[in-house]
Amino acid sequence: MEIRQLRAFVAIAETGTFTAGALRVHVTQAAISMQIRQLEMEAGVLLFVRGPRHVILTEAGEVLRERARHILRDHDAALAELADLAGAEHGRLRVGSASVRISTDPLPLLLRELRTRHPHAEVSVASGTSEKLAQQILAGELDVAFVSLPVESRGIQTEVLSHDELVAIASPSHPLAKRRVVSAATLAGEKLILGERGGNTRRLIDKFFAEAGVHPVVIMELSREATIKRMVEEDMGVGIVPTQSVREEVAAGRLVAWWIEGAQINWELGLARLRGGYDSPVIQTFIALSRNHFKPEPTKTVTALRQKARPSKGRPKQRSSSR
């Protein structure tokens, strides 16, 4: 068995198709098919059952998947330790990000600072959902990843970097634009523009509506927050996003933000890595830089929005029971 064959096998097992697996390991579909045929011939068993749309692991394949993950992790850890012998300025960092906002800022700043301390380090960046990135960490394809918490995997170690609260957003031309607080029932009556299913932010939103006993009308499910905000700016519907993601739009008057009555929908950004894995000097530096950047401090946006949401004198405080 060769390392490249095991990487190809794990990639197909996790993505479900030879095409997606080939893209992950950066080879052609013909090349990855050959690698799997060679692996099956050497093992003397079938590893996959080929279906019309995806592949299914055989019993032997399921056994090899777990073994292969351990082998690849140990292989990569050994390479990282050997790289340390060449000096701390060398090494490799493979970062994942489930947030376009983090990929835009501050990730470039963090990587620039990392480069000054490890000028010869090899750095790569990947994107995907939190669940996908966790799978890539387990498969030895990523070292660390910015994810939306929680990540439900015993093999993944996470730490909270920052907290945020979800708010509803609307166009300033919306009939309820002057409101400061809205209820779950009110939101359920709006045309909602939300993030796609599968992410933790969407899971929090769905859970909130389910607990409130209402059935929202979701007209769009989009993968990027920037697209959600633009759709809302054009008054195509109402969105629900983290507070920090709309600080500029709210300040500029392009969007209005509403607190959601009776809810504290907290969003947490975390840094994920392999539990019990080896952290090279480059990875240790990146973790330290990330922790320093996200040091807890009161955010101006949250404070400003809270002041806007505070009811005027003589009116009952709508959020007193939940804030």
Q: Give the SS3 label for residue 241.
A: strand
User: For residue 320, what pLDDT is reported?
Assistant: 37
User: For residue 298, what pLDDT is reported?
Assistant: 52
Nearest to 177 by CA among 164, 186, 185: 186
User: For residue 42, what pLDDT is reported?
Assistant: 93
| 255 has a pLDDT exceeding 60 | yes
**Residue with the two structure tokens 């019309």:** 52
| 143 has a pLDDT exceeding 80 | yes
Q: What is the pLDDT of residues 292-320, one digit of tens each?
A: 999 866 544 445 555 554 444 444 444 43
The radius of gyration of the chain's CA atoms, rounded to the nearest angstrom, is 23
Contact 134, 153 (CB under 8 A): yes
| 254 has a pLDDT exceeding 90 | yes
Q: What is the pLDDT of residues 193-230, one digit of tens each?
A: 999 887 788 888 999 999 999 999 999 999 888 999 99
Q: What is the pLDDT of residues 37-84, one digit of tens each?
A: 999 999 999 999 988 889 999 999 999 999 999 999 889 888 877 776
Please state the rounded mean pLDDT for residues 98-122: 91
Could you please state the CATH topology (level 3) that the domain comprising 1-79 is classified under.
Arc Repressor Mutant, subunit A (1.10.10)
User: For residue 321, what pLDDT is reported?
Assistant: 37
In angstroms, the CA 243 to CA 204 distance is 14
Q: What is the pLDDT of residues 271-295, one digit of tens each?
A: 999 998 888 889 999 999 999 999 8
User: For residue 310, what pLDDT is reported?
Assistant: 47
**Main-chain dihedrals φ then ψ at residue 8, nearest 5 degrees:** -65, -45
Chain-centroid distance of CA 269 in Å reads 8
Please state the rounded mean pLDDT for residues 117-127: 92
Return the CATH number of the domain spanning residue range 163-266.
Answer: 3.40.190.10
Please state, rounded to an integer, the average pLDDT across all residues of the chain: 87
All structural domains of the chain with their residue ranges:
1-79, 163-266
